[in-house]
Structure 1
């Protein structure tokens, strides 16, 4: 399996930056969406780093596995 943790983490950081900019512009719905995406991708990066294959979009479910 190819490890993509750096790709996941890089995209998570971009999503987090997008969330911050959305807050500044008052686009709170997009800020929430981008923040959730950032969290999801950061969790996937962590699991990839640990060598654990993980699927899904629910951050809480992934962290409780």
Structure 2
């Protein structure tokens, strides 16, 4: 979980520095790592990078928590950043640095923060 939190902070720094594509990618990474940490704490072997699939593969959390299915829209939005935000050929005739905006980074951070916080809550004693 610590690495997920660090990626989230780095995403904020990159956004503030105007490096929006990098910020979007690290926001995606923070959510991915947070969900993987839940798998790992449950002795599960997470595979892949799609946050949607990683969430769908989790058993449902305790009744006091929001079901993982409620986070799938946020996961889908973040999953879109996994390739295009990193590679110059990820989008036809465009490069990440000229494509992604502050608005993209802000949105990615909000979505990632929501997933990271939910993952943190699920790992607290007595939660799951």
Q: Structures share a fold, TM > 0.5?
A: yes
How far apart, CA to CA, are the structure 1 residues paired with 2:36 and 2:14?
23
Partner residue in 2 for 1:60: 52
Partner residue in 2 for 1:3: none
Partner residue in 2 for 1:5: none
Deviations 1:13-47 (A, max 9, x none): 11111100011111110010000111111011011
For structure 2, the residue ranges without an aligned partner over 5 or more in a row are 58-128
Partner residue in 1 for 2:32: 40
The two structures, once aligned, show a CA RMSD in angstroms of 0.9
How far apart, CA to CA, are the structure 1 residues paired with 2:27 and 2:46?
19
- TM-score of the aligned structures, taking structure 2 as reference length: 0.43
After the TM superposition, list the runs of 4 or more consecutive aligned residues in structure 1 that deviate by more than 3 angstroms.
none
Matched, 1:10 2:14: no
May I ask how many residue pairs the two structures share in their alignment? 57
Matched, 1:21 2:29: no
How far apart, CA to CA, are the structure 2 residues paired with 1:29 and 1:54?
26
SS in 1 for 2:49: coil
For structure 1, the residue ranges without an aligned partner over 5 or more in a row are 1-8
Larger radius of gyration: 2
Residue 51 of structure 1: how far off its partner (Å): 2.1
